[in-house]
Amino acid sequence: MRFNLVVLPGDGVGPEVAGEAIKVLQTVGSRFGHDFNLQYGPVGGVAIDETGTALPEDVLKLCKKSDAVLLGAVGGPKWDDPLATVRPEDGLLALRKGLGLFANLRPVKVSPVLVDGTNLKPEVVSGVDLVFVRELTGGLYFARPKRRWQTTRGRRATDSMTYSEQEIERIVRVGFELARQRRRKLTSVDKANVLESSRLWRQVATEVALGYHDVELDHMLVDACSMRLIQNPAYFDVLVTENMFGDILTDEASMLAGSMGMLPSASLAGVPKEGVRTPGMYEPIHGSAPRRAGLDMANPIAAILSVAMMLRHSFGMAAEAQAVEAAVEEVLRQGYRTYDIMDEGKTEVGTREMGDLIAGKVRG
């Protein structure tokens, strides 16, 4: 079978980590006999420089026709002017919206070989295996009104946290379906003590739960959740939450795994089910890290694990996905580390060497 993949390397360290992820994907192709057809396009700052827009129309079209999209990262100081009319991040948001990718999965699994390498106590992070389901096409990021205006008493600006029950229902359902494939525990995160949209969220989540008697649902306020993630992260199995809450909590949760450079993500247009191929976009959760760009320093593991998620969710290749994850684990076990997860007595390697080592393990 032939699979169509669009690669959008983007800005900063994006091209470097995407390059290593593709290296690993090609190795999977030759070992397992798959043919991956790759097409490249600009997004983010590079697209602004080339075309004046953060996501050219033909790139979005190409992505719509593909089985999956791999994205590096977007953004950088060059395009950071708060008054700019077009921003690199617009490209990412337009991709999410344009491809209907409402479900963002962000797994946080603490590798046993890295439990001593985080900022938290080993006994706190040991055994952590959770996944965030972040709503990705609504809420504070997208809902209208969203604007800035001039009044006689100065400038004002607004963003809106608006959700329809349909939007809540479909994302909560993703949470329940995932929980069913795991430890059957779902935590719905909201701010129902203050926000009306959260009260609707909680109500809809409770209604959806009626169809999932085999899954235990609990509700947690977002502030309490941010605390619990540090105090007792092993408590969690699947968490489902609003776009902005998910953005903030997943950066926090990445520290459980030692570094943002370790965390992959999948953005899907449907419910992930074993054996079902869902189109999606895959990206490391770290940003473009402009200060590290071009230095062969960035950790490519988040991008490589994003390819594993792609194999699993968009290409229906569970064994291939596992081969990639096992290769990452083995290279870490042998003591190789990029700068962000470097520890005493370990061997520091750059982006390319880390990619080569992992590809080598996949090759077997």
Residues annotated as part of the active site: 141, 191, 223, 247, 251
| Structure-block tokens of residue 242 | 């609003």
- Is 16 an interacting residue with respect to Mg ion (CB under 5 A)? no
Segment contacting Mg ion by CB under 5 A, of 61-69, 93-101, 241-249, 307-315: 241-249
Q: Which is nearer to ligand IPM, 217 or 249 (CB)?
A: 249
Pick one of ligand IPM, Mg ion, none as the site partner of residue 321 (Cβ within 5 to 8 A by kind).
none
Pick one of Mg ion, ligand IPM, none as the site partner of residue 89 (Cβ within 5 to 8 A by kind).
ligand IPM
Residues 283-302 that bind ligand IPM (CB under 6 A): 285, 287
Q: Which is nearer to ligand IPM, 284 or 358 (CB)?
A: 284
- Is 159 an interacting residue with respect to ligand IPM (CB under 6 A)? no
Residues 257-286 that bind ligand IPM (CB under 6 A): 285
- Beta-carbon count within 10 A of 357 CB: 18
Minimum gap (Å) between residue 26 Cβ and ligand IPM: 26
- Is 11 an interacting residue with respect to ligand IPM (CB under 6 A)? no
CA angle 155, 162, 82 (to 5 degrees): 35
- Is 247 an interacting residue with respect to ligand IPM (CB under 6 A)? yes
- Is 216 an interacting residue with respect to ligand IPM (CB under 6 A)? no
SS3 274: coil
Interface pick for ligand IPM out of 29, 62, 89, 109 (rule CB under 6 A): 89
Q: Are 18 and 7 in contact (CB under 8 A)?
A: yes
Q: Which is nearer to ligand IPM, 27 or 288 (CB)?
A: 288
Pick one of ligand IPM, Mg ion, none as the site partner of residue 323 (Cβ within 5 to 8 A by kind).
none
**Residue 240: half-sphere exposure toward Cβ, Cα within 13 Å:** 29
CA distance 88 to 91: 6
Minimum gap (Å) between residue 301 Cβ and ligand IPM: 17
Closest residue to Mg ion using C-beta atoms: 247
CA distance 320 to 309: 10
Q: Which is nearer to ligand IPM, 71 or 358 (CB)?
A: 71
Q: Are 133 and 178 in contact (CB under 8 A)?
A: yes
- Beta-carbon count within 10 A of 153 CB: 6
Rounded to the nearest 10 degrees, the angle between the axes of helix 14-32 and helix 301-313 is 50
Cα→Cα distances 198→188, 222, 239, Å: 10, 10, 15
Contacts of 362 (CB under 8 A, 6+ apart): 24, 27, 28, 31, 323, 324, 327
Minimum gap (Å) between residue 286 Cβ and ligand IPM: 9
DSSP 297: -
Q: Letter for the amino acid at 124?
A: V
Please compute Rg for the chain using Cα positions.
20
Interface pick for ligand IPM out of 92, 115, 171, 328 (rule CB under 6 A): 92
- Is 237 an interacting residue with respect to Mg ion (CB under 5 A)? no
| Structure-block tokens of residue 276 | 């079902």
Minimum gap (Å) between residue 180 Cβ and ligand IPM: 26
> What is the contact surface with Mg ion in residues (CB under 5 A)?
247
| Residues in touch with ligand IPM (CB under 6 A) | 75, 89, 92, 247, 285, 287
